[in-house]
């Protein structure tokens, strides 16, 4: 079953009703760096799906992937060398290359006048770089000019703040307790391959596949460890959710997270417990979320009346289910939240940032 998310003004550049006829519309010169990876390919798919106004597009990769062909709509493009590419004259570059290459190439692109929309963690906590989820804080793109860079949040944070923001606007969230169930695609192709190979090996006892990408066997298992451990016992993934929620939504919100890798190929799930300053009835919360941008509520109190990662794959929406009162505290709610982490958690959010940048700043499309 497929569902469509309600889109916010910042997120609906691709909506035909709001667009000029294609033949009269000015477009952008767009770069996708890291075009051969999972997120880079998804960026190209979503740019095409949403009919982002592109006059010219360049797809970049490292030298080992040079010349690899990737699809953009009905076109086939050959990758160019990220190391030698000249960003002069290009409007925006969507980066999906990881923190180390970003550190080298993003300033180069920014200095050439090309606005970088970065999917890595490198700039997320830089006070001079806006961290943007368009359904939540689209106006933050206006702060891009300090470094000519806009940051895309962590995948687990992105879907959570889409659900938190409309409830925060109504009842002011004080505290969030979240447990994540994160798919292996969040660890890239190597993570997906490891789950696939280990799953096959379970049924073939003579073939053993020891953990490489993950710390323990991921097939038929769950691992409460994503990224490195920090001094206070939390992992960096958990710290990211805390820091990014504060930067995107409200620095006064207290967040505690437990992030877990699960044997699912695509789609992150989250169990979210919220404490608010003002009482918020579960029925009102459900109505608020139904009207909120980017959210689809699937919440029937019956077998199968909720969303799971399988249903969210390939969809734009952040799905919210299991909305119910928490009777253990005065003003508490519980939610179940799922989303395609390669889309809303990465590629879709980056494209939505590009749309917001186009609407609010560059204004060609």
CA dihedral for 185, 249, 231, 121, sign (positive or negative): positive
337 flagged as catalytic: no
Q: Which residues, in sequence order, are CB contacts of 20 under 8 Å at separation 6+?
A: none
**What is the β-pairing status of strands 92-95 and 115-118?**
parallel
Task: Indicate which residue of 114, 168, 259, 268 is catalytic.
Answer: 268
Residue listed under structure tokens 């253990």? 328
Q: Spell out a b/e string for 230-260, using b for 16 or more CB atoms within 10 Å of the CB, else e.
A: eeeebbebbbbbbbbbebbbbeebebebbbb
182 is known to lie in a ligand binding site: yes
341 is known to lie in a ligand binding site: yes
290 is known to lie in a ligand binding site: no
2 is known to lie in a ligand binding site: no
27 is known to lie in a ligand binding site: no
Sheet containing 268-276, strands listed edge to edge, beginning at the edge strand earlier in sequence: 254-261, 173-182, 268-276, 332-339, 318-325, 295-297
9 is known to lie in a ligand binding site: no
Distance CA 130, CA 128 (A): 7
CA dihedral for 267, 268, 272, 277, sign (positive or negative): negative
Task: Indicate which residue of 155, 259, 312, 337 is catalytic.
Answer: 155
38 is known to lie in a ligand binding site: yes
**What residue ranges in the chain does DSSP mark as E strands?**
28-33, 54-61, 69-72, 75-78, 80-81, 92-95, 115-118, 149-151, 173-182, 254-261, 268-276, 295-297, 318-325, 332-339
186 is known to lie in a ligand binding site: yes
- In three-state secondary structure terms, 282 is helix
155 flagged as catalytic: yes
324 is known to lie in a ligand binding site: no
65 is known to lie in a ligand binding site: yes
25 is known to lie in a ligand binding site: no
Q: Output the known binding site.
A: 36-39, 64-65, 124, 182, 185-186, 205, 261, 341
Q: Output the known binding site for NADP(+).
A: 36-39, 64-65, 185-186, 205, 341
Residue numbers annotated as active site: 155, 268
Q: Output the known binding site for phosphate.
A: 124
């Amino acid at each position: 079953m497929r569902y469509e998310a309600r889109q916010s003004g910042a997120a609906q550049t691709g909506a035909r009703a709001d667009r000029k006829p294609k033949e009269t519309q000015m477009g952008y010169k767009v770069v996708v760096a890291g075009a051969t990876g999972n997120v880079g390919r998804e960026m190209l798919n979503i740019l095409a799906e949403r009919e982002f106004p592109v006059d010219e597009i360049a797809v970049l990769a490292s030298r080992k992937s040079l010349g690899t062909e990737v699809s953009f709509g009905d076109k086939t493009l050959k990758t160019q060398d990220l190391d030698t590419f000249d960003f002069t004259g290009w409007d925006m570059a969507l980066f999906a290359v990881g923190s180390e290459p970003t550190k080298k190439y993003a300033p180069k692109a920014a200095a050439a006048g090309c606005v970088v929309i970065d999917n890595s963690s490198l700039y997320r906590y830089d006070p001079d770089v806006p961290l943007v989820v368009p359904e939540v804080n689209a106006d933050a793109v206006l702060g891009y000019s300090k470094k000519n860079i806009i940051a895309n949040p962590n995948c687990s944070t992105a879907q959570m703040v889409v659900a938190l923001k409309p409830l925060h606007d109504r009842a002011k969230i004080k505290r969030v307790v979240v447990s994540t169930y994160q798919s292996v695609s969040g660890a890239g192709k190597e993570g997906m391959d490891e789950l696939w190979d280990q799953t096959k090996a379970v049924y073939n006892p003579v073939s053993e596949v020891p953990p490489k990408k993950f710390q323990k066997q991921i097939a038929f298992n769950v691992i409460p460890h994503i990224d490195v451990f920090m001094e206070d016992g939390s992992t960096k993934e958990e710290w990211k959710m805390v820091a990014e929620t504060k930067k995107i939504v409200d620095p006064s919100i207290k967040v505690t997270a437990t992030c877990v890798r699960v044997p699912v190929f695509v789609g992150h799930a989250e169990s979210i417990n919220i404490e608010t300053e003002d009482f918020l009835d579960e029925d009102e919360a459900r109505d608020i979320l139904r009207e909120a941008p980017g959210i689809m509520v699937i919440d029937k109190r019956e077998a199968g009346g909720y969303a799971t990662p399988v249903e969210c794959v390939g969809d734009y929406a952040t799905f919210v289910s299991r909305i119910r009162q928490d009777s253990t505290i005065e003003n508490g709610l519980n939610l179940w939240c799922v989303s395609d982490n390669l889309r809303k958690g990465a590629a879709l959010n980056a494209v939505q940032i590009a749309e917001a940048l186009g609407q609010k700043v560059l204004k060609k499309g």
